[in-house]
Structure 1
Amino acid sequence: MKLKLFHLPLMIASIAATTTNIYAEQVYHEDAGFVVIEAENFSTQHLDDKRRWLVFSKNTPAHNFADADQAHYHDASNGSYIEILPDTRSNHHEALVRNENFTNDAGTMAVLSYPVYFETPGRYYAWTRAYSTGSEDNGVHLGINGQWPESAKRLQLCEGKHAWTWSSAQRIETNHCGTPNTIYVDIPHKGVHTIMISMREDGFELDKLLLTKDKDYIPVGKDKSETLSSPKPLQEKTQLLEITDYTRVLYAIDDFKIENTGEIPYYQHKAENALAINAVKTAYRNKFARAEYIVQAKEAGSYILNLVTLAEIDGESTYLVSINDKVIGEFTNPETSNDYQEIYFSMQRVELTSGDIISVSSKAVTNGKVPENGGTAYARGRWRALVLSRTN
């Protein structure tokens, strides 16, 4: 059954809802000089009010568009492919209507886009895996970045009818079937470039697109798998886990001065990103170490302060937070069975002015529960950060 053209936009929109799949999350990249794209995984389609690329697989419902052949998903890569419909000219006996069922102007009808990240610039030879059953369903245009270079127009498939067949031949006036390996695009620089496909003849069926820097490469069968990017998981934070809203984090190691500030010195426990007291030295036990930070002019204001300490299994250290030597918070770690567990102590509505000296002090203590060297182990007064969160 052939549809009247004035019904096409409505009918195409209806079936597109069930047969067109757009995988926005699919991100292609070049891999060692190759880019392999599953045709159905296009990013966008436009200029498709007269002809449209539709996705076909075993789950595609029946349609009533003009179409000269049956679906060919059985041998398609990943069991899916695209076809441009309606197909109102499958042979020479049916009328050629320019800008409707045929166009020699690349980029003017049914344009697909495939963003690709290229690590290696240069010339890439293009191959399409297509299915042709007639004399007027075997031509398509390729482009790049919204441009349609002569080198990528009029890809033609003449041989291998009634089967999925690779072609890289360009149709020219003196050779309508073209010469293999004559379709190519030039990638000007490293980065993301958009590979594009547009209609030349309706009824064209496309399974796969392969780009390669190797001019002598000839794909076979379904050939390589699509070169999809598989980004590594983003690193999740492992510290300050309960801090979700802050203005400034003052890290103990990075932001506080520790030299000549307390009764005894701190050392940097870099593995835990914390300041700590060397309790191996008996003279450092049960005495306060101290670290200082000078408030900058741009940091002046009203804050909630959160001191982030590390609970330790061998003792419950005490901490003092002071501004200009006035204690505004005194805290003691709880008992824990989870060594270096983060503990949060809050101080509400603290006014800071330029030049204020914020100090954090702690001491090494023991709870007498963890034997060590004939005695008991000491907690080292570890703390990680002081977090500033502006109040409203």
Structure 2
Amino acid sequence: MSFLEKKKSSRHSIHTHDSKHINTVRTMVEFENDYQKYELITIIGRGYNDAAVIYLAKHIPTGQQIAIRQTYLESSKIDLSVLQNEIVLCRQLHHESLLPLYTSFVHNNDIWTVMPLMAYGSCRDLIHAYFMSGLPEQAIAYILRDVLLALDYLHNRGIIHRAVKASHILIEASGQVCLAGMRNAYQMSRNGVRQKMAFDYPHTSKLLQWLSPEILEQNLAGYNTKSDIYSVGITACELANGYAPFSDMPATQMLLEKLNGTKPVLADSSTIAALSAEQNITDSGVPGNSGSDEVETNNPEKSGALGYAYNRTFLNTFHQFVDICLEKDPESRPNSASALNHPFFKHLRRKTTEALPSLLHPVNPLSDVHVSNLPKEDTIVDDLGREFEDLDMAVDWNF
């Protein structure tokens, strides 16, 4: 039995960009606060520094495939106030490009959070398992457009996401893109008054590569929603190059590079010569021979991706979009609404759900597993688990 979706037609379940319609469709099913209404099938990921496990699960009354996150309340790795704020915030937000939480409840000292199944996994999963040298440019355009739509929704409500990265961009079987990672979000409204600048800073080191210079600087000037636009620029490079910028640098060097205004770029035929020379200097401390097509780095992911860059050329509008998002001065960056009007997105004529699945070919989303047809022996469940592991899903269903 194959556990991957074979029928292309089944991918397209929702074809709309109407947020209200999307959320109506998603919530037509009533998800009960009762663990007996759910069957856990296999682990597909982890989160909260391994304090949470994400399961492929089935809603027994309807047979619908879903994802359930079990968070261990007694774990010392988790801040319960952060978890509580995330759940409360997510239940208040309704946008098709934000990951919805259907319901949450406590069972045996675990918080069960019920969510839709993101059958393509995260963009980081796709890169690690299939697109090691980066996603197709057209797919990136659709993905980033949906991310910016989600950010525009958040920013209009005074919310800074603060964690835009490939592992927080999830894709449904229909091709719908959903931004996750809301536990890192910051609400600028306090006691009914919206602050102009934020002075609260993320505490996790896992976000450093994507955070803006003004957040990392932590000075009296503070930061605002345009810090998310910088993260979009870093994420664009991550999706296109197959690796995140600054991934081979110590944190202190990365901080200095950002504060000095160093801008990462898309790796293609127009930039690879400069990137190769820069990499030779970084690795050896002295200028090296950049005349070879072989690019050696201390990062295997980066080395392979840079080697492939000689054979591709991104649109000038894509380079320009990344460049303006990565301006060191926040005032020089566009806001989310202006970014959506950038020429890079002008050529997108279709809805994401209509275009993205074919652009991700040959990747197939995880199928709805017919649990009733599976023998109940542990070996079958183990085989299913290995099927998910082969897809690298355990790397990051990271909320």
TM-score range, shorter chain: under 0.3
**Which has the larger Rg?**
1
User: Is the helix fraction higher in 1 or 2?
Assistant: 2
TM-score, L = length of structure 2: 0.23
User: Is the strand fraction higher in 1 or 2?
Assistant: 1
Taking CA–CA contacts closer than 8 Å with sequence separation of 6 or more, which of the two structures ends up with the larger relative contact order?
Answer: 2
TM-score, L = length of structure 1: 0.24
